[in-house]
Amino acid sequence: MRGLARFSRNRLALVSLIVLILLYLIMAFSGFLEPENPTAQSRYSYLPPTAVHFFYQGRWVGPYVFGIQRRRNPVTFAEEQVVDPQLRYPVYFLVRGWHYRLFGIFPSDLHLFGSAGPLHPFGTDALGRDLFSRTLQGSEVSLGIGLVVVAFTFPVGILIGGLSGILGGVTDFLIQRLLEILLSVPTLPLLLALSMLVPANTPPVDSFLEIAAILAVLGWTGLARVVRGQVLALRQLDYVAASQAIGASRLRILIRHITPNLASYLIVSATLSIPGYILAESALSFLGLGIHPPLTSWGLLLSAALNSNSLAAHPWILIPGGCIALAVLCFNFLGDGLRDLADPHRLS
């Protein structure tokens, strides 16, 4: 109870936990929240974020958006997109539309809101696609990748590191030499080389799982080294010696007695590992070697900011980068709070 009270006093960790819960709820219901089809192109390329209005000429009329008119600038002769106050499109709630999801748990083609007009809260990209809807769709990959990779790497790291520590001898020597070889391999070049093996026409779910597997290739090695050290310390304790005395096998001791005592460390380690995998996937997708269309991720959306001229003229294309920063910061703050909670030597 004292640990929980200490965690509740860590406001950064508490707020981060709330924000992460909201982000994952948004991810789960992203298809329901999207006002536009994320893959549908329109003639409104690089449209700034559109405002939703509720009053017209001082009178409440409900939510609506203005239409957009295309015209040529009389001075520069460049084509411009300007708001047309004569065109008003109401915003409707609970509308029917497209249906395409990677993980979304909302099973139907029902959407929270939509409009026949240009309803783009985050603006549009170069092809006129709604950036808000694409950001919601990208959250499925960017937020889900960390959880999936941790689900891959942690069982492997715990098992191999635990066996290395509990068995000792030649087994421990061989496992440690293997880990040293794997840890000596440059991570980024290996990830880039492996990611090039994923074909561009791979189905979305298969592409996501292949990228997750690539990130998991070396993700378990550091955890295995740390778990091995923890097991070496825990196996000297009396309850482990008592289990050995009554004939319990080493694997049973590892699973039933040692691993539960590592739970607090493993939870903290997982929380601090997830942002690293989010950044790794974002980096691969940013370089064009990760997720491929029609699937998208925050890193892939951020690749539109590679062109400095586009970035200066259309700063809203940086919004997915802000989502990455928010998620990574929240995971780091939450990990720090959980580390304080799990530390038995920390003074209250």
Q: What is the Cα–Cα distance from 9 to 125, expressed in whole angstroms?
A: 42
Do residues 31 and 111 lie in contact, with contact meaning Cβ atoms separated by under 8 Å? yes
Q: What is the DSSP-derived secondary structure letter of residue 348? A: -
pLDDT at 270: 85
Residue 215 in any domain: the answer is yes
Residue 73 in any domain: the answer is no
CA torsion angle for 75, 49, 111, 144 (degrees, to 10)?
130
Residue 74 in any domain: the answer is no
pLDDT at 232: 83
Residue 55 in any domain: the answer is no
pLDDT at 348: 46
Provide the whole-model pTM: 0.83
H or E element at residue 11: helix 11-28
β partners of residue 81? 70
Residue 225 in any domain: the answer is yes
Residue 194 in any domain: the answer is yes
CB-hemisphere CA count at 13 Å for 212? 21
Residue 56 in any domain: the answer is no
Do residues 211 and 203 lie in contact, with contact meaning Cβ atoms separated by under 8 Å? no
Closest C-alpha among 1, 23, 16 to residue 337: 16
Largest Cα–Cα separation, the chain: 91
User: Which amino acid, one-letter code, is at 223?
Assistant: L
Residue 83 in any domain: the answer is no
What CATH number corresponds to the domain at position 292? 1.10.3720.10
Query: Is 164 buried (19+), middle (13-18) or exposed (0-12) by CB count in 10 A?
Result: buried
Q: In whole angstroms, how far apart are CA 252 and each of 162, 249, 321?
A: 11, 5, 45
Q: What is the Cα–Cα distance from 315 to 307, expressed in whole angstroms?
A: 11
H or E element at residue 60: strand 59-72
pLDDT of the chain along its 348 residues, tens only? Answer: 555 566 667 788 889 999 999 999 998 888 888 888 888 888 888 888 988 999 888 889 889 998 888 777 776 666 778 888 888 899 988 888 766 555 555 556 788 888 888 889 999 988 889 999 999 988 988 898 888 899 889 889 888 888 888 888 888 899 888 888 888 878 777 777 777 777 767 777 777 888 888 888 878 888 888 888 888 887 777 777 777 777 777 777 777 777 777 877 888 888 888 898 888 888 888 877 777 777 888 988 888 887 777 788 888 999 999 999 999 999 989 888 887 776 655 544
Do residues 13 and 330 lie in contact, with contact meaning Cβ atoms separated by under 8 Å? no
Structural domain count of the chain: 1
Q: Please give the residue range of the domain that contains residue 168.
A: 1-44+93-348
